[in-house]
Amino acid sequence: MSKPYTLYLTLQWLRHDGRENKYHWGLWATDAKPPAGHLFHATDAGRQALDLYYEARKVRDPSKSKTMVVCLKIVEAPTVEYLNHYASQVPLMDPSYLPAGESQWTCRVWVKETLKRLHKNSQIVLPAHVDTIESYGKYTADRYLSYMGNPPIINDLGWLSKTPETDSRSARQAYYGTEPMQTEVYRQNPNQYQPRYYGAKPMQTEVYQQSSVQHQPRYYGTKPMQTETYQQGYSRW
């Protein structure tokens, strides 16, 4: 069961290309009454393959999609206003802004760039580097592929630090992905290199409470913005 005001990574089955499983990557932010919320993703719906554009839309329950494999909690969700603001700023399809190491813009690349922008602008504090989130997200989806259409919704961050538990159904599914980075090996020897922590320290609002004359931090709220676009109704999910 999904939790209120939570940002999830969603992975939907696309195909197997002969080498690995391919997924559609997105971000799902729940509102006060989950599973309802908003889906943010890069899609080519209605266009040629990989002619991507940004879309944000209201959804009733993404887990009802027949192609949904898994929904993974990342962090507490910022407001819809801020999510939409920073997600729409990603220069999708502009080759001059394609991240190093990527051959083309994809929904996966867009998700990583959106998470980095949200983190950089202090809207979220990522629990791990985006490359680690990508690696473990893909690994978890591969392991739970047999659950497609009835996806698990994982509400803790255990999927980022250990091999997901599977039952006999997922054990029969061939695994095509690569083994994710084992960050726990650094804990075996305190003298070994410690992996860099990429999360920013959360804003300490309590310092403003020391004096009544000091500036009080502005409250941005957690209730999603209800725009005219979203008021037209829920999507097919």
Q: Is 37 helix (H, G, I), strand (E, B) or coil?
A: strand
Q: Residue 207 has what pLDDT?
A: 34
Domain assignment present for residue 144? The answer is yes
Q: Residue 161 has what pLDDT?
A: 85
Q: Residue 66 has what pLDDT?
A: 97
Number of domains the chain contains: 1
Domain assignment present for residue 84? The answer is yes
Domain assignment present for residue 124? The answer is yes
Domain assignment present for residue 38? The answer is yes
Domain assignment present for residue 211? The answer is no
| pLDDT tens, residue order, the chain (237 aa) | 999 999 999 999 999 999 999 999 999 999 999 999 999 999 999 999 999 999 999 999 999 999 999 999 999 999 999 999 999 999 999 999 999 999 999 999 999 999 999 999 999 999 999 999 999 999 999 999 999 999 999 999 999 986 544 433 333 333 333 333 222 222 333 333 333 434 444 433 333 333 333 444 444 444 444 433 333 444 445
Q: Residue 186 has what pLDDT?
A: 26
Amino acid, single-letter form, for residue 172 = R
Report the distance separating Cα 143 and Cα 134, nearest Å: 14
Domain assignment present for residue 34? The answer is yes
DSSP at 23: E
Report the distance separating Cα 28 and Cα 6, nearest Å: 8
Give the Å distances, CA to CA, from 43 to 55, 57, 118, 124: 7, 12, 20, 24
Report the distance separating Cα 218 and Cα 208, nearest Å: 11
Q: Is 210 helix (H, G, I), strand (E, B) or coil?
A: helix
Report the distance separating Cα 199 and Cα 119, nearest Å: 8
Domain assignment present for residue 206? The answer is no
Structure tokens at 94: 């502009």
Report the distance separating Cα 141 and Cα 151, nearest Å: 10
Q: Residue 162 has what pLDDT?
A: 66
